A and B are shown apart, each in its own frame.
Chain A
Amino acid sequence: MTLPHGPDSSQRCVAFCVSVLLWPSIKQGISVLEIRNLHATIAGKEILKGIDLSVAEGEVHAVMGPNGSGKSTLAQVLAGHPAYEVTEGTVTYDGRNLLELDPEVRAQRGIFLAFQYPVEIPGVTNAYFLRSAFNEIRKAKGLEELDPLEFLDLMEEKMKLVDMDASMLNRSVNTGFSGGEKKRNEILQMAVLSPRLAILDETDSGLDIDALRIVAEGVNKLRRPDNATILVTHYQRLLNHIIPDQVHVLAAGRIVMSGGKDLALELEEKGYDWIAGAAA
């Protein structure tokens, strides 16, 4: 349907861009994460060159960008990977300085990173691992630990969410898992640990369409008004299943463009070269 006097495409773009610029000032949610001018290096090489990002309760943010743009680094830095050094800037999580916290303390306070490459740990069963993590977080919150039987009940419920078979609990963590199983296992952990801020690093990569749907449904079911999600992804297709509130495009360690969910579609259509041109 065409409006007789509707705006032409260039006018639409202007309206769209204005709304993007207004976005941060009009949102009302309570802040979960505030990143200001974040610089980070690994082995002396600067990867993040001044990131600014605000995430509020109930929001889903997609961070997109070409390979090597710093997406995964951002995810790892937020989780506290010791190999990265923050050289400048601040990260405030629930009003407190996140950067001074050890990775385990970040997790205990509700940060969860779904790994791009989940780590295999032969010799530790998935059940033992999950229960240890769950109970460590409970302990840190001053709550009572669950015994193995109580925990099993909780697991049964959570495993349905990612369509996982109970036999997976008795296998060593990620050991011999297929790519899809590993990613589902990450979402299972997320479901069990119930984070306030979930960061999903390329959780869609290497998934076939069914696995993608299962993972996305899992994430959607875990969305609550009082938590937030950052989706790090190269491709738009995950965003067909998980609708983001904001999309940010990362290039060469900086966010070069932010917008609503349609920005992802535009990226898909025009490719990352378009961003490089637009940002220049």
Chain B
Amino acid sequence: MSDVLTTAGDAPAIAAPLPHAESLAAYRADFDRLASTDLRSEPQWLAHFRGDAMRSFEALGFPTMRDEDWHFTSVAPIADRVFHPALPASVSRAAIAELLVARLAGPMLVFVNGRYASELSSVAATTASDSGVSIQSLAAAIRDDQAGTLSRRLGDVASPDSSAFTALNSAFFRDGAVVRIGPNAVAHEPIQLVFVTTDAEATASHPRNFIIAERHSQATVVESYLSAATPAAYLTNAVTEVVLAEGARLSHYKLQSESIKGYHVGTIQVRQAANSYYESFSFATGAALSRTNVYTILEGDAAESVMNGLYLADGSQHVDHQTFVEHVAPNCPSHELYKGILDGRSHGVFNGKVYVHPEAQKTDGKQSNNNLLLSEHARVDTKPQLEIFADDVKCTHGATVGRLDETALFYLRSRGIGMSVARRLLTYAFAADVLERLELAPLKEALEARVLERFTA
């Protein structure tokens, strides 16, 4: 093929520019400008951290579909343009209330265009030091970091050189949340982290969160990604690092409901010590293109991970999930169920890997991905994978792609229920079992309602 091109004289004499080199140069320019202005007063360790991250981003470049991790998702819509750092903006409290997927009691940190909005947040009651629960903006935590916790630990779980998007986040983040649940502390109400983007075309915000659950603590954290905008093509590139100490329990829910023209890349990386329990749920319904990564490493004996998710897409949306469970220690269960409902010409991707190290005997790994296609043109690529290097394990995985059950449709219709209601009911029923696993009841109900409303055709 290349021979033909060469003889035809069409091939360039010198090597073509690196893919996206222009956009990389633009990100570098933005980075240098920020480093000498807005971020100038940051501590030195952070300047180094960002500088290294920027170089990692330049070295990695945006992934392409040749990259195994991005085989079914083209990030060209993101890589082909430059998303400059988002500018501050204000959003009303009423607008936030309107946007929230679920109304939950409890503390809430709100970020607008990646910046902490104290006037929209409510944290007072739980930040009392005696409760053992501390919730802070990352920027404030960095300023107050006398103990050097962040300087030591930021990027420890989500290493800046692990992927281009994490590198970009590490170079550019302005703020995010730091949640620390002290030893034996219990946060009784869910802690909400809300990230809102206003209608700023071609801008990016890079929320960076850090959650530490100390020994035998317990908490629920809900991250919401929302857009208060007329549809704009912006980028949210979030990274959340989670550290669970021995016996800690964390329920961690991520709700992605971005603008229909927005782009969203969200990475959650978790490290689990012995006997810890991590419950994750990823709900993805918005964005033109979204990619959610949920990675956990089970480092301590009998640590448990539950990873569930539900993605809904229609029109020309592209929704991608990648999960990775790394079993390092023995006796760890990891259970995973992701479900997708795809209508229109939407494209769903699920890529899940369970990796069992030789030492991780008695691993109990279960992974499933089920998809419902509501239209002829919707498409899904699903790839559950097991890599097992221990000999005494119980691991299963499976994936299905199906359509609405015609027999069940007829059954409902024969009871007087019209075609569109019957389809909605069966669509809802498809999602019911994964929603059933949500431990936070008001969120479960809110998501059930979302599913019922979403596909009304």
Are A and B physically bound partners?
yes
B399-442 vs A, CB cutoff 8 Å, 1 = contact: the mask equals 00000011110111111111101100110111111000000000
Is A232 in contact with chain B by the CB < 8 A criterion?
A: no
> B432 — which chain A residues lie within 8 A by C-beta?
122-124
**Chain A residues whose C-beta falls within 8 Å of the C-beta of B415 in the assembled complex:** 104, 107, 129, 132-133, 136, 189, 193
Q: Please report B residues at the A interface, Cβ cutoff 8 Å.
A: 405-408, 410-419, 421-422, 425-426, 428-433
A-B pairs, top 9 by smallest CB distance, nearest first, are A123-B432, A123-B429, A107-B416, A133-B415, A119-B411, A103-B413, A137-B416, A104-B413, A136-B416
The residue on A at minimum CB distance from B429 is A123
Is there contact, CB below 8 Å, between B421 and A132? Answer: yes
Contacts of B406 in A (CB 8 A): 82-83
Decide: A193 and B416 in contact? CB cutoff 8 A.
yes
A103 to B414, CA, bound (A): 5
Question: Complex formed: what's the CA distance from A123 to B429 in Å?
Answer: 4
A81 CB-CB contact with B under 8 Å? yes
Q: Shortest distance in angstroms between A158's beta carbon and chain B's nearest beta carbon?
A: 14
Question: Which residues from A are CB-within-8-Å of B431?
Answer: 123
The distance in angstroms between the C-alpha atoms of A261 and B419, with both chains bound, is 39
Question: A266 near B: Cβ within 8 Å?
Answer: no
Answer whether residue A108 sits at the interface, using C-beta atoms and an 8 A cutoff. Answer: yes
In the complex with contacts A123-B430, A123-B432, A132-B425, A81-B416 CB distance below 8 A: no
Judge whether B426 and A82 touch: CB under 8 Å. no
- Return the contact of A124 from the options B407, B413, B419, B429 (Cβ within 8 A): B429
Docked complex: A95-137 residues within 8 A CB-CB of B: 102-104, 106-108, 112-113, 115, 118-119, 121-124, 129, 132-133, 136-137
Separation of A87 and B118 alpha carbons in the complex (Å):
71
CB within 8 Å of B: which of A175-208? 189, 193
Say yes or no: A136 contacts B410, CB within 8 Å: no
> Is the CB of A77 closer than 8 A to any CB of chain B?
no
**A80 at the binding interface (Cβ < 8 Å):** yes
29 A-B Cβ contacts within 8 A? A81-B410, A104-B414, A104-B418, A106-B414, A107-B414, A107-B415, A107-B417, A108-B416, A112-B414, A115-B414, A119-B407, A121-B412, A121-B426, A121-B429, A122-B433, A124-B425, A124-B426, A129-B415, A132-B417, A132-B425, A133-B412, A133-B416, A136-B415, A136-B416, A136-B417, A136-B418, A140-B416, A172-B429, A189-B415
B407 neighbours in A (Cβ, 8 Å): 119
In Å, the complex CA distance between A41 and B417 comes to: 25
Asked if B410 and A82 sit within 8 Å, CB to CB, the answer is: yes
B42 to chain A, nearest CB (A): 50
Give the chain B neighbours of A122 by CB distance below 8 A. Answer: 429, 432-433
Q: How far is the CB of B445 from chain A (nearest CB, A)?
A: 14
A107 touching B433, Cβ below 8 Å: no
**Least Cβ distance of A133 to chain B in Å?**
4
Q: How far is the CB of A100 from chain B (nearest CB, A)?
A: 15
Contact call B413/A107, Cβ cutoff below 8 A? yes
A113 cross-chain contacts in B, Cβ below 8 A:
414
**Interface pair B433/A123, CB less than 8 Å apart:** yes
